[in-house]
C-alpha cells in the first residue's frame, strides 16, 4: 500500500524556502492539506515577510492542492495558537506537525554573545516545543498525531563554531524521547530528521557540485515516511542526497566496581573496558539505565534483587 496523505492536515514550520518548502510541496503532492508557516526572516532571524509562504501556497494550489499561509513566529504561543485555530477552523483538524524552522548565528564559543546563543536555542528548541504544545491536546483527543523534529549532525556529532546551534539541535533528541513515551497510548508518534541539504544555511559552506547532490528534494521522501500512518516511532533518520540511515545512541555494557575499588584511579585504569563497544545496547528509557546499574551493582556485591 503506497503512502498517501489524503484527508490529512499538516503544519510545516519554516516552509517558505529550502527544506521546509520541499516538505510542504511533498505533503501536498501526496494529498495533504498544508499550513505553510514562515516568518520570512533572514538566516540569522532578522526581518520578516509573508511573501515566501504565499508563494509556496500558490505552488500547491497550482498543482490542485489545498494550502494556507501563516506567518506565526514559532516561539510566540499566541501566534502559534492562532495558526492552529485557523487550520482547525478551515479543515477541522490537524494530523501532522513538521518542525523545520531555524536560524543560524555562527561564531566560536569564545566570540559568541550570550544573546546569540539564547536566540538560536529559542528558535530551534522552543520553536519546536510551542507548536507541539499547541497541538498536543488536539492530538490526544483525536488519538492521532505525527510529529517530526529537525536535528543536525552539528547537534549529534558537533561542528566548529556552532555551539548554540549544536546545543539546540541536540535538545530535539531529548524532547522526542519523552514525547514518544507520553504519546504512545494516544497514537502520537514522534521522529527526528537529521538532514544534510543544500539550503540557505549551507550556501558558502560546501562546493557547488556537492550542493547539487544535496537538494532538499532528496531528503523530503524520508521525512514523508516519518509522518505516515505506519511511521516508525522514536527514529532519528539521517538523510542527504537520496541516502538514508538511522542515527542511534548506544550505551556500552560497562563495568561494575566493588566498594573497595570505587575510586578514580581504578576507574581510569579500566577506561578501555568501560568504553568497549561489545554488547552495547540502546536504552528504551531512563529507568532502564537505572535498573541496569542496580542489577550490575547488586551482582558485584552478591545481593539478590527481587524479580520485577
Quick one: how many helices (H) and strands (E) in the chain?
A: 12, 8
| pLDDT tens per residue across span 180-196 | 999 999 999 999 999 98
Confidence at residue 116, expressed as pLDDT on a 0 to 100 scale: 97
Same domain, 25 and 167: yes
Residue 93 domain flag: yes
Rounded (10°) angle between helices 51-62 and 18-29:
30
Same domain, 212 and 265: no
Same domain, 122 and 46: yes
Rounded (10°) angle between helices 163-183 and 114-121:
30
Domains contained in the chain, number: 2
pLDDT tens across the length of the chain (308 residues):
699 999 999 999 999 999 999 999 999 999 999 999 998 766 665 656 688 999 999 999 999 999 999 999 999 999 999 999 999 999 999 999 999 999 999 999 999 999 999 999 999 999 999 999 999 999 999 999 999 999 999 999 999 999 999 999 999 999 999 999 999 999 999 999 999 876 555 556 666 767 778 899 999 999 999 999 999 999 999 999 999 999 999 999 999 999 999 999 999 999 999 999 999 999 999 999 999 999 999 999 999 988 86
Same domain, 230 and 171: yes
H or E element at residue 211: helix 208-213
Same domain, 266 and 241: no
Residue 266: domain span: 259-300
Rounded Cα distance, 218 and 285, in Å: 32
Residue 308 domain flag: no
Residue 1 domain flag: no
Rounded Cα distance, 97 and 227, in Å: 8
Same domain, 83 and 134: yes
Same domain, 44 and 175: yes
Same domain, 19 and 54: yes
Q: Single out the catalytic residue among 144, 157, 165, 293.
A: 165
Same domain, 157 and 204: yes
C-alpha cell at 208: 557547488
Confidence at residue 308, expressed as pLDDT on a 0 to 100 scale: 64
Same domain, 144 and 288: no
Confidence at residue 42, expressed as pLDDT on a 0 to 100 scale: 65
Same domain, 70 and 91: yes
Confidence at residue 202, expressed as pLDDT on a 0 to 100 scale: 56
| pLDDT tens per residue across span 30-41 | 999 999 999 876
Residue 306 domain flag: no
- What's the angle, vertex CA 307, arms to CA 305 and CA 308, rounded to 5? 120
Q: If you search the block for the grid coordinates 543544500, which residue do you land on?
A: 198
Residue 37 domain flag: yes
What CATH code is carried by the domain that includes residue 102? 3.40.50.720
Rounded Cα distance, 54 and 139, in Å: 27
Same domain, 20 and 87: yes
Tell me the pTM: 0.92
Alpha helices in 70-207 (DSSP H): 77-91, 114-121, 127-142, 153-156, 163-183
C-alpha cell at 174: 531529548
Residue 56 domain flag: yes
| pLDDT tens per residue across span 261-286 | 999 999 999 999 999 999 999 999 99
Which of 246, 267, 288 corresponds to the end of one domain?
A: 246
Residue 253 domain flag: no
Residue 2 domain flag: no
149: annotated active-site residue: no
Amino acid at each position: 500500500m503506497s503512502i498517501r496523505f489524503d484527508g490529512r492536515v499538516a503544519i510545516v514550520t519554516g516552509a517558505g524556502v529550502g527544506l521546509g518548502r520541499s516538505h510542504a510541496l511533498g505533503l501536498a503532492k501526496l494529498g495533504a492539506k498544508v499550513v505553510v508557516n514562515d516568518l520570512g526572516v533572514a538566516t540569522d532571524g532578522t526581518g520578516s515577510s509573508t511573501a515566501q509562504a504565499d508563494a509556496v501556497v500558490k505552488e500547491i494550489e497550482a498543482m490542485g492542492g489545498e494550502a494556507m499561509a501563516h506567518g506565526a513566529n514559532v516561539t510566540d504561543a499566541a501566534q502559534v495558537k492562532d495558526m492552529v485555530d485557523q487550520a482547525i477552523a478551515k479543515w477541522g483538524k490537524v494530523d501532522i506537525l513538521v518542525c523545520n524552522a531555524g536560524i543560524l548565528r555562527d561564531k566560536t564559543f569564545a566570540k559568541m554573545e550570550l544573546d546569540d546563543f539564547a536566540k538560536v536555542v529559542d528558535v530551534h528548541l522552543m520553536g519546536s516545543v510551542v507548536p507541539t504544545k499547541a497541538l498536543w491536546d488536539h492530538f490526544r483527543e483525536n488519538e492521532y498525531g505525527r510529529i517530526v523534529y529537525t536535528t543536525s549532525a552539528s547537534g549529534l556529532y558537533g561542528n566548529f563554531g556552532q555551539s548554540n546551534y549544536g546545543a539546540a539541535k541536540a535538545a530535539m533528541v531529548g524532547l522526542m524521547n519523552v514525547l514518544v513515551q507520553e504519546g504512545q497510548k494516544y497514537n502520537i508518534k514522534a521522529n527526528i530528521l537529521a538532514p544534510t541539504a543544500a539550503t540557505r544555511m549551507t550556501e558558502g559552506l560546501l562546493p557547488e557540485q556537492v550542493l547539487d547532490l544535496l537538494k532538499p528534494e532528496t531528503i523530503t521522501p524520508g521525512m514523508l515516511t516519518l509522518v505516515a500512518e505506519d511511521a516508525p516511532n522514536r527514529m532519528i533518520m539521517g538523510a542527504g542526497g537520496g541516502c538514508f540511515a538511522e542515527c542511534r545512541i548506544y550505551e556500552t555494557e560497562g563495568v561494575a566496581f566493588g566498594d573497595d575499588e570505587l575510586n578514580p584511579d581504578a576507574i581510569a585504569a579500566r577506561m578501555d573496558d568501560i568504553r568497549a563497544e561489545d554488547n552495547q545496547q540502546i536504552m528504551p528509557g531512563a529507568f532502564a539505565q537505572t535498573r541496569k546499574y542496580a542489577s550490575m551493582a547488586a551482582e558485584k556485591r552478591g545481593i539478590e534483587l527481587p524479580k520485577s
